[in-house]
């Protein structure tokens, strides 16, 4: 399946809280090329999650439109998978790991033999081949997030949305998961929109980083990450260019927070 090209045009979302109107995002314009890994960073509470939920079709934007491969979409773009921040809450505790993954294939015309095969393959890809029969709550947080990633992979998405997926795991697990996502992206060539509040993570993973301004979120800056394609937790993070880029982004975020 080919990767999707996503373009966002004048997207805006306003919440009416009763006492005042909150402009979470306003006139947001950007494009994600097919097969690109785009990271989105911004000051906390700047509407990153609102943006992701709008792209996923879980929130109806107040105005603006989304296009996938040039076609306008309403609702969830076909072939979109999401990895939520709250891994523990997006997996179903009443189902074993394999059933959690198979669930998203059930209504998409995939027969049970192929479902089993895809589940096995996806678990293999995230290094959890032996947990198929376990329940999610028997696994550690990092493993649960791997299951959520495996579920997204088994779906064979054209567009993968990740909402601060590693915000709740410890540093070492986080580094492992970052490398996992990067490797999977290079192997599979899927389009990924990766939302994070961690600038280092954005620079480490992204081909391009979108810096959003504070409420309302607008695109403040787009920064191409011109680091070597081979990323390594130690070497890449020690690269002078890496430090330059992260400083540059941090500067933008600090300025936009004012």
Partner 1 sequence: MTLRTVLWRLVTWFGLPVVLVAAWWFGSEGSRSFYWPPLTEILRTFTQLWTPERWAADVLPSLGRLAAGYAAAALLGVGIGVAIGLWWRLRAIAEPVLEFFRAIPPPVLVPVIMLFAGIGDGMKIAVIVSGCVWPILLNTVAGVRAIDPIQRDTCAVFATRPLTRLRRLVLPAAAPHIVTGMRQALSIGIILMVISEMFAAHSGLGFAIVQFQRGFEIPEMWSGIILLGLIGVALSGAFALAERRVLAWYHGMRRAEGSR
- Taking the CA atoms of the chain, what radius of gyration do you get in angstroms? 18
Interface residue with partner 1, options 107, 130, 226, 230 (CB under 8 A): 107
Shortest CB 240 distance to partner 1, Å? 40
Choose one: 40-48, 133-141, 214-222, 229-237; the region binding partner 1 (CB under 8 A).
Answer: 133-141
Q: How many CB atoms lie within 10 A of CB 205?
A: 23
Which of residues 123 and 152 has its CB atom nearest to partner 1 in the complex?
Answer: 152
How far lies 254's CA from each of 9, 46, 248, in Å? Answer: 26, 13, 10
Shortest CB 100 distance to partner 1, Å? 9
Asked if 103 touches partner 1 (CB under 8 A), the answer is yes
Residue 236 in tokens: 């890449």
Asked if 134 touches partner 1 (CB under 8 A), the answer is no
**Among the listed residues 152, 160, 158, 148, the one whose alpha carbon sits nearest the alpha carbon of residue 193:** 160
Asked if 108 touches partner 1 (CB under 8 A), the answer is yes
Helix axes 97-106, 141-154, angle to 10 degrees: 30
Which of residues 43 and 165 has its CB atom nearest to partner 1 in the complex?
Answer: 165
Size of the site for partner 1 (CB under 8 A): 25
Instruction: Give the list of residues 6+ apart from residue 219 with CB closer than 8 angstroms, or none.
Output: 28, 29, 30, 210, 211, 212, 213
Paired with 73 in beta bridges are: 66
Asked if 137 touches partner 1 (CB under 8 A), the answer is yes
Interface residue with partner 1, options 49, 90, 248, 250 (CB under 8 A): 90
Residues 26/217, Cβ–Cβ less than 8 Å: yes
State how far the Cα of 29 lies from the Cα of 88, in Å rounded to an integer.
Answer: 32
Choose one: 92-100, 171-179, 192-200, 233-241; the region binding partner 1 (CB under 8 A).
Answer: 92-100
Which of residues 57 and 189 has its CB atom nearest to partner 1 in the complex?
Answer: 57
State how far the Cα of 143 lies from the Cα of 140, in Å rounded to an integer.
Answer: 5
Asked if 93 touches partner 1 (CB under 8 A), the answer is yes
State how far the Cα of 4 lies from the Cα of 167, in Å rounded to an integer.
Answer: 26
Which of residues 194 and 242 has its CB atom nearest to partner 1 in the complex?
Answer: 194
Interface residue with partner 1, options 65, 89, 186, 254 (CB under 8 A): 89
CB-neighbour burial class of residue 69 (10 A; exposed 0-12, middle 13-18, buried 19+): middle
Residues 237/198, Cβ–Cβ less than 8 Å: no
Shortest CB 215 distance to partner 1, Å? 22
Interface residue with partner 1, options 135, 168, 198, 237 (CB under 8 A): 135
Asked if 34 touches partner 1 (CB under 8 A), the answer is no
Region 152-191 residues binding partner 1, contact defined as CB under 8 A: 155
Residues at the contact surface with partner 1, assessed by CB under 8 A:
53, 56-58, 76, 80-82, 84, 86, 89-90, 92-95, 103-104, 106-108, 135, 137-138, 155
């Amino acid at each position: 399946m080919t990767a999707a090209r996503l373009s966002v045009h004048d997207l805006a979302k306003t919440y009416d809280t009763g006492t005042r109107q909150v402009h979470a995002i306003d006139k947001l314009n950007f494009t994600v090329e097919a097969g690109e890994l785009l990271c989105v960073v911004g000051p906390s509470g700047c509407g990153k999650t609102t943006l992701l939920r709008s792209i996923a079709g879980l929130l109806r934007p107040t105005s603006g439109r989304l296009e996938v491969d040039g076609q306008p979409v309403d609702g969830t773009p076909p072939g979109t998978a999401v990895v939520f921040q709250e891994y523990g809450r997006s997996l179903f505790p009443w189902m074993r790991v394999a059933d959690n993954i198979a669930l998203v294939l059930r209504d998409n015309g995939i027969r049970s033999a192929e479902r089993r095969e895809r589940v096995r393959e996806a678990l293999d890809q995230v290094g959890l081949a032996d947990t198929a029969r376990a329940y999610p709550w028997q696994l550690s947080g990092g493993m649960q997030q791997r299951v959520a990633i495996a579920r997204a992979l088994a779906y064979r998405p054209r567009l993968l949305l990740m909402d601060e997926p590693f915000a709740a795991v410890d540093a070492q697990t986080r580094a492992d998961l970052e490398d996992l996502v990067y490797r999977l992206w290079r192997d599979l060539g899927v389009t990924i929109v990766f939302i994070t509040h961690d600038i280092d993570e954005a620079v480490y993973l992204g081909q391009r980083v979108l810096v959003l301004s504070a409420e309302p979120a607008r695109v403040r800056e787009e920064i191409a990450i011109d680091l070597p394609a081979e990323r390594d937790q130690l070497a890449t993070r020690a690269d002078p260019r890496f430090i330059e880029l992260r400083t540059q982004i941090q500067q933008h975020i600090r300025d936009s927070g004012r």
